[in-house]
Amino acid sequence: MSLKRNILDLRKRKEKVLQGGGEKAIQKQVAMGKLTARERVTSILDEDSFHEYDLFVEHEARDFGMEKKQLHGDGVIIGTGTIYGEPVCIFAQDFTVAGGSLGLMHARKITKIMDHALKMRVPLIGINDSGGARIQEGVNSLAGYGEIFFRNTLASGVIPQLSVILGPCAGGAVYSPALTDFVFVVENISKMFITGPEVIKTVLGEEISMEELGGARVHSEITGNAHFYAQSEYECFEQIKKLLTFIPWHNGKKAKAFPPKPPKPEYKIEEIVPADPTQPYDIRNVIKAIADDSDFFEIMENFARNIVIGFGRMNGETVGFVANQPMVLAGVLDCDSSDKAARFIRYCDSFNIPIVTLEDMPGYLPGVDQEHMGVIRHGAKILYAYSEATVPKITVIIRKAYGGGYIAMNSRHMKADFMFAWPTAEIAVMGPEGAANIIFRKEIMAAEDPEAMRKEKVAEYKEKFANPYVAAAKGYIDTVIEPEETRNMLLHSIEVSNNKVDRRPEKKHGIPPF
Amino acid sequence: MENLKEFNVDGTVYKTELTKKFENRKNWERPNPKNILSFIPGTIVEIFVKEGQEVKAGESLMILEAMKMKNQIEMPFDGVIKKIHVEEGVRVPNKMLMLEIE
């Protein structure tokens, strides 16, 4: 007997399941401007590299007429493949099958591929496009979510976890992306919220659209839940692939090195930064003047823009940049920017990526709303993250480094490995105006012309303290460098930090100010 | 760089862009204990007092139903009701002035 018949039978079965939710549902998906789950997977992965598992999984629900329904693959695709030749695990919820709703077997498929990713130490990419829990399956679907969240937490800091929101992701389902490292959203397609517009309207009487409540723009600008924003799914896939070039496959490895390239000549570091500390500039141009090929891959570009985070390369090796942005809110630290920076610092530390900090900030954002929102505990996250990090940590103070912000931004006191300052650096307890007003209050008040006296005293303070040399005299700064020397000093300091060993007290884990 | 504004931190004025979130922040106001505000959006189910009525601390002024809970709004101190801004059956947003005390 030949095997032919069995093979043909297999092919027929496969063909049937590969249709997902069928022609009509696929048309609906396309009409919404979305790709199908399978198209998404194959677009992200190297050509012909996708291998699917659990194709023949079926649900066991027996209530509410579910016993008569066959849901192909139970609404999710799982498998392995490669990106730039390196292995990854991937799952994609299939909205064409019962709205991508999550039942027990659907969740089991996801946790199977998660377990695999963790065991094999490869990145996990999750594509979310689901109406939420499969209500007919009751508590089984809740159990499913719980099993996913638990694995997200186990894998955190061991393998990179990327969440791609390409459809609705609502209710409890949002917590899987929230537990992962990077969340990608696409305009008009991604929708994330805990309670949707319908519920909000019935319960609270507030009317809001899905897009306004939890669309891509909201999560990339206001909530900070998303790290990458794209106009189309294809742009999003490019972002995923680019991100993967910067990060290692697991926490026991370093990111892949690329051939070193000098920065592009149009970024002239001395021309970017004004000497007057009150004048703005775009700190990203300084990063581009330092990084290989002037290639800076920014993360959370639209959220808390007063701090800039992202990856670049120095001498071909990945570096994480954390930089105050004088162009936005004068580069102050506040609740949002502290959260943004702290999480990124922890990411770099988990995945063996050296951190370069560029500092130019006037302190913390004053205001009742900041204080009442808890700028104390949020601000503490930066201190915690820098202190805890044991990867090479290098700081360049460009201009202002005032007060608590100076300490927080990877100072020597947080155990920075190298501290460099430009001659324009001002390392002081506060800006000259504020300091002079306090120190010379009596003299200013007693003067015949208080305004003239104030100016004189501000100038006196500036002369004395608004420079890098007081800190350098104490060894808090290792050396004062010319702006042009910045790249070379960084290259050298990263090179000599290559075998850095920094052991910390043994503990189960710390208690960061979450 | 567009829309550069003046921005004061500790007495020094910086030229910088502002963020939408910063510009939309609410200025803090000292709460007036004589104003009773809604603490959650909901519906006024019942009102127990009238304008001009003397009310003792702890007595119920009205019921604000929200999230399926009937919340008693209590008089915070002895006083006279100056003005009632809501009616039975109306929906109120959060932090709306519902009642004033003399």
CATH number of this structure's domain B28-101: 2.40.50.100
pLDDT in tens, A340-386: 999 999 999 999 999 999 999 999 999 999 999 999 999 999 999 99
User: What pLDDT is recorded for position A377?
Assistant: 97
User: What pLDDT is recorded for position A467?
Assistant: 92
Q: How many CB atoms lie within 10 A of CB A514?
A: 9
Higher-pLDDT residue of A241, A58: A241
pLDDT in tens, A159-170: 999 999 999 999
Interface of B with A (CB under 8 A): 1, 4, 7, 9-22, 25-28, 40-42, 66-67, 91, 93-94
Q: What is the mean pLDDT of chain A?
A: 94
**Rounded average pLDDT over A312-329:** 97
CA distance A505 to A485: 36
Degrees (nearest 5) of the Cα angle A179, A180, A183?
115
CA distance B37 to B64: 11
Say which of A221, A306, A434 has its CB closest to residue B12: A434
pLDDT in tens, A461-511: 888 888 999 999 999 999 999 999 999 999 999 999 999 999 999 999 999
Q: Inter-chain contact A329–B7, Cβ cutoff 8 Å?
A: yes
pLDDT in tens, A14-44: 999 888 888 999 999 999 999 999 999 999 9
> Which ipTM was obtained for this model?
0.80
Question: For residue A47, is it left (φ>0), alpha (ψ between -120 and 50) or beta?
Answer: beta
CA distance A295 to A290: 9
Token pair listed for A457? 């005293």
Which residue of A218, A433, A461 to mutate against B (max B Cβ within 10 Å)? A433
HSE (side-chain half, CA atoms, 13 Å) at A258: 18
Q: How many residues does chain B have?
A: 102
CA distance A54 to A56: 5
CA distance A297 to A299: 7
User: What pLDDT is recorded for position B54?
Assistant: 93
User: What pLDDT is recorded for position A63?
Assistant: 81
User: What pLDDT is recorded for position A257?
Assistant: 96
3-state secondary structure A121-182: CCCEEEEEEECCECHHHCHHHHHHHHHHHHHHHHHCCCCCEEEEEEEEEEHHHHHHHHHCCE
pLDDT in tens, A77-104: 999 999 999 999 999 999 999 999 999 9
Q: Inter-chain contact A366–B19, Cβ cutoff 8 Å?
A: no
User: What pLDDT is recorded for position A394?
Assistant: 98
**Rounded average pLDDT over A122-143:** 93
Q: Inter-chain contact B16–A328, Cβ cutoff 8 Å?
A: yes
Q: How confident is the model at residue A60 (pLDDT cuts 50, 70, 90)?
A: confident
Say which of B10, B15, B16 has its CB closest to residue A431: B10
CA distance A211 to A193: 10
User: What pLDDT is recorded for position A95?
Assistant: 95
Say which of A221, A222, A330 has its CB closest to residue B9: A330
Q: How many CB atoms lie within 10 A of CB B15?
A: 17
| First-to-final CA distance of chain B | 52
> Which of A275-284, A329-338, A440-449 comes out lowest in average pLDDT?
A440-449
Q: What are the extents of the domains in chain A?
A: 14-60+69-246, 269-430+466-496, 432-465
pTM of the model: 0.93
Token pair listed for B50? 């009238």
Higher-pLDDT residue of A393, A17: A393
Fold of A14-60+69-246: 2-enoyl-CoA Hydratase; Chain A, domain 1 (3.90.226)
Higher-pLDDT residue of A198, A236: A236
> Which chain A residues touch B12 with a CB distance below 8 Å?
277-278, 362, 431-434
Q: Inter-chain contact A366–B10, Cβ cutoff 8 Å?
A: yes
Say which of B16, B41, B67 has its CB closest to residue A330: B16
Could you tell me which residues come within 8 angstroms of residue A8 by beta carbon, excluding any fewer than 6 positions away?
Answer: none
User: What pLDDT is recorded for position A365?
Assistant: 93
| C-alpha to C-alpha distances, A64 to A67, A195, A454, nearest whole angstrom | 8, 25, 79
> Which chain B residues touch A330 with a CB distance below 8 Å?
7, 9, 14, 16
User: What pLDDT is recorded for position A62?
Assistant: 81
Q: Quote the minimal CA–CA distance from B46 to chain A in Å.
A: 18
Token pair listed for A302? 């639209």
* Burial of residue A488 (number of CB atoms within 10 Å: 0-12, 13-18, 19+): exposed
User: What pLDDT is recorded for position A1?
Assistant: 65
Q: Inter-chain contact A328–B66, Cβ cutoff 8 Å?
A: no
Put simply, whether A372 touches B (Cβ < 8 Å) is yes
> Which of A323-327, B10-14, B55-59 comes out lowest in average pLDDT?
B10-14
CA A121 to chain centre: 20
Put simply, whether A369 touches B (Cβ < 8 Å) is yes
Put simply, whether A430 touches B (Cβ < 8 Å) is yes
Q: Quote the minimal CA–CA distance from B93 to chain A in Å.
A: 7
pLDDT at B9 over 70: yes
User: What pLDDT is recorded for position A67?
Assistant: 81
Q: What are the extents of the domains in chain B?
A: 28-101
**CB-based burial, A275-300: b 16+ in 10 Å, e otherwise:** eebbebbbbbbbbbbbbbbbbbbbbb
Q: How many CB atoms lie within 10 A of CB B43?
A: 16
Q: Quote the minimal CA–CA distance from A223 to chain B in Å.
A: 10
CATH architecture for the domain at A269-430+466-496: Alpha-Beta Complex (3.90)
The amino acid that residue B73 corresponds to is I
Put simply, whether A432 touches B (Cβ < 8 Å) is yes
Question: Which residue of chain B comes nearest to A302, CA vs CA?
Answer: B19
Say which of B1, B4, B11 has its CB closest to residue A431: B11
pLDDT at A2 over 90: no
Chains A & B: contacts with CB separation below 8 Å = 87
**Is the distance from CB of A312 to CB of A319 less than 8 angstroms?**
yes
pLDDT at A224 over 70: yes
> Which chain B residues touch A433 with a CB distance below 8 Å?
10-12
Q: Inter-chain contact B20–A221, Cβ cutoff 8 Å?
A: yes
Which residue of B2, B5, B10 to mutate against A (max A Cβ within 10 Å)? B10
Higher-pLDDT residue of A70, A349: A349
User: What pLDDT is recorded for position A20?
Assistant: 86
pLDDT at A426 over 70: yes
Degrees (nearest 5) of the Cα angle A252, A254, A257?
155
The position carrying tokens 């501290």 is: A419
Q: Inter-chain contact B11–A433, Cβ cutoff 8 Å?
A: yes
User: What pLDDT is recorded for position A396?
Assistant: 98
Question: Which residue of chain B comes nearest to A429, CA vs CA?
Answer: B10
Say which of A205, A278, A366 has its CB closest to residue B15: A278
Q: Quote the minimal CA–CA distance from A505 to chain B in Å.
A: 38
pLDDT in tens, A229-276: 999 999 999 999 999 999 999 999 999 999 999 999 999 999 999 999
Instruction: Provide the 8-state DSSP code for A221.
Output: I
CA distance A20 to A36: 9
Q: Inter-chain contact B13–A282, Cβ cutoff 8 Å?
A: no
Put simply, whether A205 touches B (Cβ < 8 Å) is yes
User: What pLDDT is recorded for position A204?
Assistant: 73
Helix, strand, coil share (%) of chain B residues, nearest 5: 5, 45, 50
